[in-house]
């Protein structure tokens, strides 16, 4: 969410400011919520574990938690082989730090439904070997 909550593409040239605006979930749904998932606009994150830019920032759970509490329903995690057999989330080929995959997923479990009863979708960009999958 380092890239979703503070979008680098947002500016005077962007004619879709409302798409970038902070999501304010309704107390109760204002539309038919019985349709297939693909029929809805879903607030999502990109590199949700990064707390800043995609090249040098820290990884952690702060932006995952913040995004979920603001109504984000899609969390993206890039998963790589980590030390001691524990997979990590990091942005491969960069200078970003890493957070344990287990820590990131536990943050989703603990905070996923504070602001919305609707499903949380995890998109996992899997770079982990078979042993850590």
- β-strands 74-80, 88-89 pairing: antiparallel
Choice among 39, 46, 114, 127 that is catalytic: 46
46 catalytic? Reply is yes
111 catalytic? Reply is no
Choice among 16, 17, 39, 91 that is catalytic: 91
- What residues act catalytically? 46, 91
């Amino acid at each position: 969410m380092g890239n979703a909550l503070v979008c680098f593409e947002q500016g005077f040239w962007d004619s879709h400011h409302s798409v970038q605006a902070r999501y304010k979930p309704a107390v109760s749904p204002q539309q038919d919520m019985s349709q297939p998932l693909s029929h809805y606009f879903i607030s999502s994150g990109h590199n949700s574990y990064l707390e800043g830019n995609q090249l040098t920032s820290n990884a952690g759970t702060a932006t995952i938690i913040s995004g979920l509490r603001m109504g984000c329903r899609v969390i993206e995690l890039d998963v790589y082989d980590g030390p001691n057999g524990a997979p990590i989330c990091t942005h491969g080929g960069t200078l970003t730090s890493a957070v344990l995959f287990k820590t990131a997923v536990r943050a989703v479990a603990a905070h996923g439904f504070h602001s919305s009863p609707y499903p949380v979708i995890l998109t996992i960009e899997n770079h982990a070997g078979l042993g850590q999958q």
